[in-house]
Amino acid sequence: MKRFSKTVYDILGRATDQYVGYNLSFSVYADATTVVNDTILEQQTMTYNQIGTVLSTVSKQRYHNAAASQHGALGTPSATPNARITYLASWIDGVGRTFGSANYGTNGGSTFSRPATVPTRSDTILVSTTSYNNDGEVFSTLNPQNMETRYEYNAAGRQVTQIENYVSSGSAADQNRTIWTTYTADGQVKTLTASNADTGNQQTKYDYGTSLSNSGVASSQLLRFVTYPDALGTGSDFVTYSYNRQGQQTLVIDQRGCQHAYDKASGSKGITCRDGLLVG
């Protein structure tokens, strides 16, 4: 069996059709330009707006009982080669940003036509929407359940706050789950602090900087320690990293004290725990 992927492009170089299938007699180059004699398993058809952004995608999956002798592009549930058809659509603003998308599933078996505006959320049309702040950054997203996530950024455009299931003045445990992010002077993540009404703040800390005493290279950019929230208060909930001269990880010591050693030259890995027992 010769399984393949084929892609059709328009005059602007955009992929308009993609196929996955096989051909037991595929033998000459000309066969690559058509699917007429192929058994197609899956296919997608994309449409675009004037700036080259995908507006809709029609996906087809071959029925399990469609005869292998039925060749060519997939049909419909009632037209051979029989296939299941699903539809996705997107809506784009004037500067090329996606502000809405909808998964129509099979659209109830009806012919699909992308509407000009984002449809109303429902159990049969799964809609996600995005809004942006004045700097063009994502301000808010709403998932198909109408659950909102909000984002805040610092002056450098780095995300500093993410609030899941945002509800103004909400106090339930599953509301306003917040993650705060701080950064080092080099722009690397310094801390991640997660908070909800039940657990309060739980912080993960990242420390950077290696020396020749613990790695093959001295660098302020390489991650040295990750310290996780320690519910038991033992102070041992951290992971240590060491590197070779190329900045590749050669040793990781986990919270249990198990040493994960990597040989980049051979690609081998060894794991030794604190008691000396080789476990992998």
Write the DSSP symbol of residue 30: G
> 237 is written with which tokens?
């909930």
CA-derived radius of gyration, the chain = 26
Whether 274 shows a pLDDT value over 70: the answer reads: no
> 142 is written with which tokens?
């709403």
The more confidently predicted of residues 151 and 258 is: 151
Structural contact between residues 147 and 175, judged by C-beta atoms closer than 8 angstroms:
no
| pLDDT of res. 1 | 56
Q: What is the distance between the alpha carbons of residues 81 and 72, in angstroms, rounded to a whole number? A: 8
Residue-wise pLDDT tens digits, 70-106: 999 999 999 999 999 999 999 999 999 999 999 999 9
Of 160, 95, 101, the C-alpha closest to 130 is 101
Whether 280 shows a pLDDT value over 60: the answer reads: no
Cα→Cα distances 239→20, 62, 97, 242, 255, Å: 43, 47, 39, 10, 6
Whether 230 shows a pLDDT value over 80: the answer reads: no
Whether 231 shows a pLDDT value over 60: the answer reads: no
Q: What is the distance between the alpha carbons of residues 206 and 136, in angstroms, rounded to a whole number? A: 29
Residue-wise pLDDT tens digits, 115-165: 999 999 999 999 999 999 999 999 999 999 999 999 999 999 999 999 999
Q: What is the distance between the alpha carbons of residues 261 and 267, in angstroms, rounded to a whole number? A: 11
The band of 236, judged by pLDDT with boundaries at 50, 70 and 90, is confident
What number of other Cβ atoms are within 10 A of residue 192's Cβ? 18
Whether 28 shows a pLDDT value over 90: the answer reads: no
